[in-house]
Structure 1
């Protein structure tokens, strides 16, 4: 983390973080423009380079910040999450919505980080992607799948859920206004359907 940056007033910090996060999340590393970040945050380009050196330094900082913030929220959730697999998945998605109150683009940035292909960006992303994955896995460590049908492959189920929920998330960000209610309803309906498909009937009665 950049210690000098955190000496700024919190309002200015958040404007810069949110501005950079939005541009990186929507455009990916290669197409992200610092000029667009300047417009989003209303802060001169000189300050960006003063604190972060270059575009890669800024991207690394944003990735680090987003992952640590999200992981902190996931850890809080993990202390009270249910043992049901699908309820836990819903709790994770609700946590994504909760972090939007302070940093509206954290969920989309984390999604874009997982899909990033640029070699320069990938040179700094390894540890952040791993830390985020570990936090998500930890959220499920107390979950029981004893009531799942024998045919269910957990790796296939997890990948299917991940891709579908990520698709819902990205679609919502494409709208002019992100509707948390629409997103939550889509997620709840989908998880309810998937639960009915993979869970033994006698366990759901």
Structure 2
């Protein structure tokens, strides 16, 4: 029945998606309320169940929607020809923040999903999540120029530390910007601060460039 939902005008469809994504992100599946969803979406409850038979059907639709968004608008855009690991992470971070600015509810919703037990989900969703993990690993860690790292560096541990720093910065940034209108936000100062952290990581793990 989701074809009925897909045929809606875009503004109404996005209103329902945003209301549902927010509700599940804030309360999880069990405590999510379809009454709150229809209230924020400004539709009748009967209409919601006209598009989705059950709350679980709606939740599964949202999972497909968000995983597809992440794969197509984020992972597939990461450039693996950039062999500098930190530079690749830098560009991946920019893409992620652009996705968050345009669709904040998507990443907030997926943040709760990643903590769930995916074994309880339908096989098609499990397969899509496995695809996301596989593509994500390949996009970040394949075709890296290891010669950039200092000699005797434990590169695997360096990868983890770089990842922790970048993801920690992203979490802190999202928390500080919560509730603000991203369409009106100037992200340049935040990216400049982000790049300073990356420069510090390069100084810590990379060989010193000649002439510097």
What TM-score results when the alignment is normalised by the length of structure 2? 0.76
Larger radius of gyration: 2
Shift of 1:75: 4.8
How many angstroms apart in 1 are the aligned matches of 2:62 and 2:211?
Answer: 42
SS of the aligned residue for 1:201 comes to coil
Q: Which residue does 2:98 correspond to in 1?
A: 98
The one of 175, 196, 202 equivalent to 1:189 is 196
Q: Which residue does 1:26 correspond to in 2?
A: 26
How many angstroms apart in 2 are the aligned matches of 1:128 and 1:88?
Answer: 24
Shift of 1:190: 2.5
Shift of 1:186: 4.5
Match runs of 1:72-91 below 5 Å: 72-79=72-79, 82-91=82-91
Q: Which residue does 1:152 correspond to in 2?
A: 154
How many angstroms apart in 2 are the aligned matches of 1:23 and 1:158?
Answer: 34
Deviates more, 1:55-64 or 1:142-151: 142-151
Change (3 A) 1:5 1:85: same
How many angstroms apart in 2 are the aligned matches of 1:26 and 1:171?
Answer: 18
Number of residue pairs aligned between Structure 1 and Structure 2: 201
How many angstroms apart in 1 are the aligned matches of 2:138 and 2:211?
Answer: 25
Runs (5+) with no aligned partner, structure 2: none
Change (3 A) 1:59 1:199: same
- Asked if 2 retains the 8 angstrom alpha-carbon contact of 1:2 and 1:51, the reply is yes
Q: Which residue does 1:199 correspond to in 2?
A: 206
Q: Which residue does 2:169 correspond to in 1?
A: 168
CA RMSD of aligned residues (A): 3.0
What TM-score results when the alignment is normalised by the length of structure 1? 0.78
Runs (5+) with no aligned partner, structure 1: none
Change (3 A) 1:12 1:86: same
How many angstroms apart in 2 are the aligned matches of 1:144 and 1:2?
Answer: 45
Change (3 A) 1:170 1:147: closer
1:6 matched to 2:3? The reply is: no
Change (3 A) 1:193 1:113: farther
Change (3 A) 1:166 1:39: farther
Match runs of 1:42-121 below 5 Å: 42-79=42-79, 82-114=82-114, 116-117=115-116, 119=117
Shift of 1:109: 2.5
Shift of 1:93: 1.6
Q: Which residue does 2:120 correspond to in 1?
A: 123
